[in-house]
């Protein structure tokens, strides 16, 4: 329902049992609270988004290439952007991965380790190419790898932020069509001098955006 610019007609005081609750008009009188319609100078019509599209409104998101290894120590790599922090202490993150046995999921289940390599513009194309369903996608990507410091899974050579993780849990939540892969960060590295602008934020499909200029918000008065 759109916001209205006119005040609603006066209402009778509400009651719960014998206790009366102040009407919005009374609250305004008592506390001098401004009506919402007075605070909003111009109300834009909002466009309704179908629920099946609503999750796409959570953007832009960090893009990462997750590296894993199979028991033969062959490396796999796949791009993900459903990633978020979960805990400072211990440091933990989660990945949202389609609820099917992808190579990434298989390797994480078996090896209990993975590496999150944050994707920067300089190798974004190589990272995205690892989203292909080709058995030799990793070789074709042209990416090079180097040993992890605390885990037996390699990381991407040249990645500017690397988070080595140990699996804590794989959560299947009701009908949710993605697994929640919880990992504890056991080693972290960052290239000094990394600029925000270098980081590739994912919008959807093959569309990305840079993070833009930093700004401060005086939220705490
Ligand atoms: C930029 C980008 C972001 C993606 N993000 C996700 C994601 O967050 N979750 C997911 O399940 N799949 C995501 N995908 C799709 C996976 O990368 C794709 O399913 C891949 O084939 C899985 O590879 P694997 O079988 O080697 O694990 C993304 C793909 C791209 C190109």
In a domain, 219, yes or no: no
Measured in Å, residue 77 CA sits from the centre of ligand 1 at 10
Place of tokens 């700004």: 215
In a domain, 85, yes or no: yes
**What is the four-CA torsion angle of 128, 131, 134, 136, rounded to 10 degrees?**
50
Residue 219's pLDDT is: 83
Residue 10's pLDDT is: 43
In a domain, 19, yes or no: no
pLDDT digit of tens for each residue in the chain (221 aa)?
343 444 444 444 444 555 556 666 666 566 666 666 566 666 789 999 999 999 999 999 999 999 999 999 999 999 999 999 999 999 999 999 999 999 999 999 999 999 999 999 999 999 999 999 999 999 999 999 999 999 999 999 999 999 999 999 999 999 999 999 999 999 999 999 999 999 999 999 999 999 889 999 998 76
| 141, 130 Cβ separation under 8 angstroms | yes
Measured in Å, residue 150 CA sits from the centre of ligand 1 at 25
CATH number of the domain within which 83 lies: 2.30.110.10
| 129, 141 Cβ separation under 8 angstroms | yes
For residues 187 and 181, give the distance between their C-alpha atoms in angstroms, rounded to a whole number. 18
Q: Is the Cβ atom of 78 under 6 angstroms away from ligand 1?
A: yes
Residue 9's pLDDT is: 43
Measured in Å, residue 16 CA sits from the centre of ligand 1 at 52
In a domain, 221, yes or no: no
Closest residue by CA, ligand 1 atom 21: 131
Closest residue by CA, ligand 1 atom 13: 80
HSE-CB for 186 with a 13 A CA cutoff: 17
For residues 80 and 199, give the distance between their C-alpha atoms in angstroms, rounded to a whole number. 14
In a domain, 62, yes or no: yes
Residue 2's pLDDT is: 40
Residue 151, C-beta contacts closer than 8 angstroms, at least 6 positions apart: 113, 114, 115, 164, 165, 166, 186, 187
- Token reading at 97: 């991965």
In a domain, 168, yes or no: yes
Residue 29's pLDDT is: 63
Q: Is the Cβ atom of 98 under 6 angstroms away from ligand 1?
A: yes
User: Model-level pTM?
Assistant: 0.84
For residues 38 and 129, give the distance between their C-alpha atoms in angstroms, rounded to a whole number. 51
- Domain, as residue range, for 159: 54-209
Mutate to test the pocket of ligand 1, among 55, 76, 77, 79 (most ligand atoms within 8 A of CB): 79
Mutate to test the pocket of ligand 1, among 74, 78, 120 (most ligand atoms within 8 A of CB): 78
Strands (E), 22-148: 61-62, 64-69, 75-80, 83-87, 92-98, 113-118, 145-146
Q: Is the Cβ atom of 153 under 6 angstroms away from ligand 1?
A: no
Residue 6's pLDDT is: 43
In a domain, 28, yes or no: no
Measured in Å, residue 50 CA sits from the centre of ligand 1 at 23
- The helix or strand, by DSSP H or E, that contains position 37, with its residue range, turns out to be helix 36-39
Residue 34's pLDDT is: 63
Number of domains composing the chain: 1
For residues 83 and 118, give the distance between their C-alpha atoms in angstroms, rounded to a whole number. 11
Measured in Å, residue 15 CA sits from the centre of ligand 1 at 53
In a domain, 6, yes or no: no
Q: Is the Cβ atom of 104 under 6 angstroms away from ligand 1?
A: yes
């Amino acid at each position: 329902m759109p916001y209205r610019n006119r005040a609603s007609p006066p209402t009778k005081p509400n009651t719960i049992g014998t206790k009366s609750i102040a009407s919005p008009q009374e609250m305004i009188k008592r506390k001098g609270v401004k009506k919402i319609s007075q605070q909003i100078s111009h109300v834009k019509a909002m466009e309704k988004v179908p629920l099946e599209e609503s999750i796409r409104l959570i953007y832009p998101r960090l893009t990462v290439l997750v590296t894993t290894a199979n028991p033969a120590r062959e490396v796999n790599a796949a791009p993900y952007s459903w990633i978020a922090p979960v805990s400072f202490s211990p440091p933990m993150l989660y990945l949202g991965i389609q609820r099917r046995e992808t190579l990434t999921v298989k390797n994480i289940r078996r090896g209990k380790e993975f590496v999150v390599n944050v994707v920067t513009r300089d190798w974004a194309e190589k990272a995205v190419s690892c989203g292909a369903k080709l058995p030799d996608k990793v070789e074709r990507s042209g990416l090079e790898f180097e040993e992890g410091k605390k885990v037996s899974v390699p990381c991407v050579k040249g990645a500017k932020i690397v988070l080595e993780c140990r699996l804590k849990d794989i959560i299947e939540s009701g009908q949710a069509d993605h697994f929640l892969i919880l990992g504890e960060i056991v080693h972290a590295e960052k290239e000094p001098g990394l600029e925000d602008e270098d980081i590739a934020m994912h919008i959807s499909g093959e569309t990305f955006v840079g993070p833009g200029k930093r700004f401060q918000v005086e939220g705490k008065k």
